[in-house]
Amino acid sequence: MGPKMDVTVIGVDVGGTNCDAMVVPWLSDPSTETRPLSAHKSPASPDVITGVADCVSGAVAKLGPDFDRGSIRCVAVGTTHFLNAVLQRRGLLPVGVVRLCGLTSHATPPFSGWHPEIRKVVECSDACTFTLKCNGKQVQRGALFAEGGFQFDKRTPLGVLGEAHDPEDSEGGQAETQKGQLCREEIFEYATEMASRGVNNFAVTGVFVDSLNPSQEHTVGEWIREAVPSARVTLGHQIGPHGILERENGGILNASLRPLALRTLSAFETAIRDRCDFPNAELLLTCNDGTVCQTEQACEYPIFCFSSGGTNSMRGGASMVHPSARHVIVQDIGGTTTDVGVVTDLEPRERVGTAELGGVVTNLHVPEVFSFSLGTGTVFDLTTKRLLSTSVALRLSSEAIVYGGNTCTTTDLMIARKLRRREPIPEWLQGGGGGRYEPDLLLERVSEEDVVAGYEQMLQRMLSGIDAVHPRDSEEIEEGRRMRVYDLVLVGGGTCLIEAGDLDCRLPEGIGRVIVPEHYAVANAFGATMLSVSASLDTSVENYTGSKRAELREQIGNKVRSLAVEKRHADPLSVREVRFDERKLAYLNNGTVRLSVRMAGRLMLSSLILKGSGGERHRQGAEHLLPAEEEVIVSGTPNSQSVGEMMKSPSDSLAEDQSVQALQQLYKEAERPVRFNQKGEWVVSERDIEFIAIGAGVLGSGGGGDPYHGKLRALATLRGGRKICVAPRERFEGPEHSESLFVNPAYFGSPDVEMETSVSGTEGEGLLGSMEEYKGVACAEIGGLNSIEPMVIAALAGKPVLDCDGMGRAFPRIGHWLPCILGHPLAPCGAANFRWRHDDKCVVRLDTEEEVEDRVRSFLKKGKGEKLGMGAGEMLEIALGKDIGKMGGFQMICLPALRGADLVRKTVPRTISLCWQIGRAVVRSAGKPQGGGGVEDQKGKDDFFDHSPAEAIVKCTGGRVLVEKAKVLSVVPKDTARFTIRVVALQELEGKERKFELIAQNEFVRLRELHPSEELEEALRGGGDTAKCAGKTLGITPDLLAFVDSRTGLPHTTERVHPGTRGSVLCLCSPQAMETEEALQAVGPSAFGFDQDTWCSVCEHPDSFPRARESFSVFDEFSVEKKKKR
């Protein structure tokens, strides 16, 4: 044995094409520059053991025979293994799902919104549909709506039993136990029945159950394991943040992956301990955020190790140039794709909102990594001289021309370029064909013209990737402020495709230099050796105001810090705050906020417990969970479902953003005609719902609630055999319908609460009964969630929904409803929540205006003769919303019914048609084929094909694009009695890089261009409150301001806007009904605290698209009857 070293660490990245390994010394001082001892790259193998063992052995062999293998303390492995399993729908097992929700969220059951292919694999079969004997509950395909869960205060139970207190009363409910109203008998019977049907993997998720009150989920997990000792249970509060469906989705995926995780880690440990002979090495896995976890955590929560390869590259590339470059953009050029992301002080920028993984929407905390099609295997079409988005991936060594194949790839272009310039070719590329290397054949088939065309397109793709993530923010210097400079770090095996100098001379402003580190090809392995750990907490907290805010902030911070140290073994001196976000829940008066906190630090190696040869420990107990044909895999022998098979390069779906893929899929159906029934009603299809949901999000102007949950409920309604039918408003405008009644249901309350509780689906029945007296349903507002929910209510009642609404968009208050503005009667009206069947207090019915007034007087504590001093809308809002706390923070309301005679004057026409048209326009623009596929044939035939998504939206309504590309610099919340005003500071990403202020009061209501000044710079340095800074109004209510993704046209809701969010700001013309003098008093600038004279219709601007929002009708466009009349 050679000279003894203190401690060394090995980082490994297991990719679809290659395995990378790097050996580094472990330095006690993290600020000291770490210089790698050795690095090695080798081809991936069909079985994971051989590939990992060869790669690691190769790196160690370079250190010589005297290297002390006992000094290797840990091996950190990064892999896309689990993500590939989901993409390929292989290695997954069915999961039993327990949702602790009491009476709520039944309208969106588990697996809502899942891609059919993966749902078929993970959801239990019909054999797992049965009735519980203990309480008569129906278990559908292994999913149980169980007793449990809480309202937003995390004390009041969601169950049937007991007297509910007002969650806004912080003193109430103290006697309520954390176990709430769980039912042990139903859990035992359910688990036993599921086990008898062959299901041993379970996911338990509770409504408003998080790390601060986890006991309900822990208790249910213990009961399941008590009933079925072999059960593996995943608890939702340990998976993801706020949002019941997305967190549950992550828990289900995790539960399905756990048996595969056992096999995978067993194979890795065999490779590390047995094949490589590292007796003291502890196996670690790298996580999605670039941190590491021990094998126990990885076995229990494989979803945290879902896709760490790109993150490791970001951190590894940044650490190779840190601390001389603190702010960097890292581009990792691989075999199939290029990943690009922003890293500041070694922390990758985090993605905001949800992420779709293999057809499943989750809300996992993952870094923002933009991927595009460019790698060593990317195909170049020699006929059209176009760089395609497809890749030969693992087949590069046999299909590339230089290796004797027939496909021209970027590797061929690079080698041909170097050969013609007489530049040296890397040895590993000369040997990439398994011994076959034919440069003469390459030069014969690939011309200089091909090389120049392909190389230029590679450069353009890389520059587009930089533009997609470049923050373009500023920093303070002695002379004032300037644009912050980011260095560009190139890593990955494909870095050899590009000459750094050719890219350097084209860099945009704000990018300093191009850096290619010494070990660029194995940056991902280097990132794995950094051994960071983290802990996070997402929760809601009451009374987060005044002096208590600082106290609670400190308590939460200390809690997360303790988790990082005690559970993740972080060095206490290294723990730092990475994220501390806070957001008030709208419409609630008790200072309830959502907090999202993350702390990170360096792993204490001394905390690792040496386990010796511990592979058997992970294998024990795994065999009985695996299908019979897969049992052989446990011993590491590959077969058709082997661990190694999962390592193959993932499908091309990784190359493009998931939302773009969805739009591209919808594009194929965009021209399919709309269907009508014999009554002339539009029969809405699933494709139509997708279009309407996109348009509803845009017309929501950032508010109105995310229409995603409503879309899921509408799709479930259609798949359940119901029909959603839309009738033209004109059909009911005649005198024969003057007394016909049309109901106006809507959801009212905090969108944040709805994201967690969803709805039961029975609220409409509680309010409206059979609806026999109504002719149909009208939307109260066409923006956001309330655009789609009335369709579901109408379908369940067998009634049509009218192609009109009461706002023409989304507004924050009931008083902005057009009938209210025009003096419509205040009654009858009502409100109900999910408990209406079991608690009379959860249904409010006000049949007369006197009852409405009495309810308002009671709330304001005013006598019968005292003047109320408020308008009809405010009275209605108090009458229906005064008990919003007791209603759980979110409820259904029914506004006073409209008669046929009211429709023309008191509704905005053709608004469901407008939603549909906006959605189709976005799909036609953002979902169009990228190269080939009949693109040329489509140009000129499609009105929206040649427009950007932002322009396509504006063309549908009238108005203009105010800011083509902008980035959020800061979001400053300002609390009011019931609403949260958000002041959003934006910076233009192109052109003059102007700065803007976008104000939201639930919805976006004003955009100003801010004048450059010291006051502005001071405001931005101080957190972003620009309210007192001078500026020019560019768009203001009642015109509709929308903030949409520049690439996809999909809308950003105010709840999901964070620093770093990018998009285009649009100003769309308001409905003409909202531009009358009477309406402007209610929805114009003065109603929101601005100068009334600042509004002038956007359509009067010379650069605007003409007003078009009320000219389009699905009936006019597609109805055979209307076409005949024309």
- Confidence at 1087, pLDDT banded by 50, 70, 90: very high
Q: How many CB atoms lie within 10 A of CB 845?
A: 14
Instruction: Give the pLDDT score at 164.
Output: 41
Instruction: Give the pLDDT score at 945.
Output: 58
CA dihedral 846→852→854→857, nearest 10 degrees, is 140
Per-residue pLDDT tens over the stretch 555-587 = 999 999 999 998 888 989 889 888 888 777 776
Instruction: Give the pLDDT score at 251.
Output: 96
- Mean pLDDT over the full length of the chain: 84
Residue 936 has pLDDT above 50, yes or no: no
Lowest mean pLDDT among 308-312, 413-417, 1011-1015: 308-312
Residue 175 has pLDDT above 50, yes or no: no
- Phi-psi bin for 569: left (phi > 0), alpha (psi -120 to 50), beta? left
Does residue 43 or residue 843 have the better pLDDT?
A: 843
**Residue 411 neighbours by CB under 8 Å, 6+ apart:** 376, 377, 396, 400, 402, 429, 432, 497
Instruction: Give the pLDDT score at 705.
Output: 78
Residue 902 DSSP code: G
pTM: 0.86
Does residue 596 or residue 1081 have the better pLDDT?
A: 1081
- Phi-psi bin for 589: left (phi > 0), alpha (psi -120 to 50), beta? alpha
Does residue 271 or residue 112 have the better pLDDT?
A: 112
Residue 593 has pLDDT above 50, yes or no: yes
Lowest mean pLDDT among 336-340, 484-488, 630-634, 713-717: 630-634
Instruction: Give the pLDDT score at 1123.
Output: 55
Instruction: Give the pLDDT score at 623.
Output: 38
CA atoms within 13 A on the CB side of 927: 23
Q: Give the number of residues written for the chain.
A: 1126
The beta strand positions in 630-705, using DSSP E, are 675-676, 682-683
> Can you tell me the distance from the alpha carbon of 801 to that of 790, in angstroms, rounded to the nearest whole number?
7
- Phi-psi bin for 241: left (phi > 0), alpha (psi -120 to 50), beta? beta
Q: Which CATH architecture has domain 945-1100?
A: Beta Barrel (2.40)
Instruction: Give the pLDDT score at 880.
Output: 86
Q: Angle formed by the axes of helices 789-797 and 708-719, to 10°?
A: 20
Per-residue pLDDT tens over the stretch 1035-1085 = 999 999 999 998 899 999 887 888 778 899 999 999 999 999 999 999 999
Closest CA to 983 of 964, 963, 959, 1010: 1010
Please give the average per-residue pLDDT across 185-208, as a whole number.
96
Instruction: Give the pLDDT score at 1121.
Output: 60
In the chain, % helix, strand, coil (3-state, to 5) comes to 40, 25, 40
> Can you tell me the distance from the alpha carbon of 386 to that of 450, in angstroms, rounded to the nearest whole number?
9
> Can you tell me the distance from the alpha carbon of 781 to that of 797, in angstroms, rounded to the nearest whole number?
20
- Confidence at 1124, pLDDT banded by 50, 70, 90: low
618 in Cβ contact with 265 (< 8 Å): yes
> Can you tell me the distance from the alpha carbon of 263 to that of 634, in angstroms, rounded to the nearest whole number?
6
Per-residue pLDDT tens over the stretch 33-56 = 678 899 988 877 777 778 888 889
> Can you tell me the distance from the alpha carbon of 647 to that of 267, in angstroms, rounded to the nearest whole number?
12
- Confidence at 669, pLDDT banded by 50, 70, 90: confident
Residue 1093 has pLDDT above 90, yes or no: no
- Confidence at 29, pLDDT banded by 50, 70, 90: low
Q: At 642, which amino acid appears?
A: S
Q: Where are the domains of the chain?
A: 91-244, 535-602, 945-1100
579 in Cβ contact with 35 (< 8 Å): no
- Confidence at 608, pLDDT banded by 50, 70, 90: low
Lowest mean pLDDT among 154-163, 288-297, 563-572, 716-725: 154-163
- Confidence at 102, pLDDT banded by 50, 70, 90: confident
CA 876 to the chain's CA centroid: 35
Host H or E run for residue 329: strand 327-333
Instruction: Give the pLDDT score at 476.
Output: 61
CA atoms within 13 A on the CB side of 286: 35
List helix spans (H) across 680-837: 686-699, 708-719, 751-757, 763-768, 789-797, 818-821
Please give the average per-residue pLDDT across 784-810, as a whole number.
93
724 in Cβ contact with 718 (< 8 Å): yes
> Can you tell me the distance from the alpha carbon of 1043 to that of 982, in angstroms, rounded to the nearest whole number?
14
